[in-house]
């Protein structure tokens, strides 16, 4: 089949209001049941398919997170740690088997109109994803690293350094790319598939490779 250009769907969708009953019931769950119980229910349902399972997952997910905007789309198998530290904007898609690993004293903010592909991983101890970001399937954020000090002990026993990772507005991160601790991806930048980004990327710049290098400006 020849190359084709088709109209974007997710990025052009209009964001409507969620059903009042859905937001009200999520609020009731938050008031009536402890977080541990809601999280246990979510884990029982997280892999189910079909509209009913998706609705139940979304209700519980909304009740668990610090904030969730309108029109959340949640694939099967999405896992989250420390959802009480996670804020999500309007019209966000979280693909199947995505893992968001937060921290009890951390920060994870996902803006509006963000599409996150299946099997993505986020070390979300201090992570900001701004609006209109596209995140390719299997791409990863690493937000922390071991100091390796003192050298006489195994690295895994040394302290962790948490560094902020920020993905700027309108950026696009390719399939299976890896963004390392402390990196900022500038607004409108593009990261090529399978790249390893170990330094910050200027706005509207295209990078690719291992390690990622600047190819050109947009």
pLDDT in tens, 107-161: 999 999 999 999 999 999 999 999 999 999 999 999 999 999 999 999 999 999 9
| 66-80 confidence digits (pLDDT tens) | 999 999 999 999 999
Residue 53 has pLDDT above 90, yes or no: no
Nearest to 74 by CA among 50, 49, 51, 57: 57
pTM of the model: 0.93
Whether the predicted pLDDT of 48 surpasses 90: no
pLDDT tens track for 11-32: 888 888 888 999 999 999 999 9
Residue 209 zone, left/alpha/beta (φ > 0; ψ -120 to 50; rest) = left
- Backbone phi, psi, residue 51, to 5°: -60, -40
Spatial contact of 79 and 100, defined as CB atoms under 8 Å apart: yes
Alpha-carbon span 23 to 1, nearest angstrom: 44
Distance of CA 136 to the CA centre of its chain: 11
Q: Once rounded to an integer, what is the mean pLDDT over residues 49-58? A: 87
How long is the chain? 218
Task: Check pLDDT > 90 for residue 36.
Answer: yes
């Amino acid at each position: 089949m020849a190359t084709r250009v088709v109209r974007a769907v997710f990025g052009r969708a209009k964001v409507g209001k969620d059903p009042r009953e859905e937001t009200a019931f999520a609020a009731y769950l938050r008031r009536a049941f402890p977080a541990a119980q809601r999280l246990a229910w979510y884990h029982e349902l997280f892999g189910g398919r079909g509209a009913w399972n998706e609705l139940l997952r979304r209700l519980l997910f909304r009740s668990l997170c610090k904030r969730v905007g309108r029109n959340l789309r949640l694939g099967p198998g999405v896992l989250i740690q420390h959802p009480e530290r996670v804020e999500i904007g309007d019209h966000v898609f979280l693909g199947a088997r995505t893992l968001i690993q937060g921290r009890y004293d951390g920060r994870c903010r996902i803006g509006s109109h963000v599409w996150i592909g299946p099997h993505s991983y986020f070390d979300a101890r201090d992570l900001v994803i701004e609006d209109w970001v596209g995140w390719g399937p299997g791409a990863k954020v690493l937000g922390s690293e071991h100091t390796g000090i003192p050298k006489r002990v195994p690295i895994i026993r040394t302290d962790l350094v948490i560094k902020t990772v920020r993905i700027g507005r309108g950026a696009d991160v390719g399939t299976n790319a890896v963004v390392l601790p402390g990196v900022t991806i500038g607004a409108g930048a593009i990261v090529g598939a399978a790249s390893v980004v170990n330094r910050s990327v200027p706005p509207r710049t295209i990078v690719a490779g291992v390690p990622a290098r600047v190819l050109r400006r947009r």
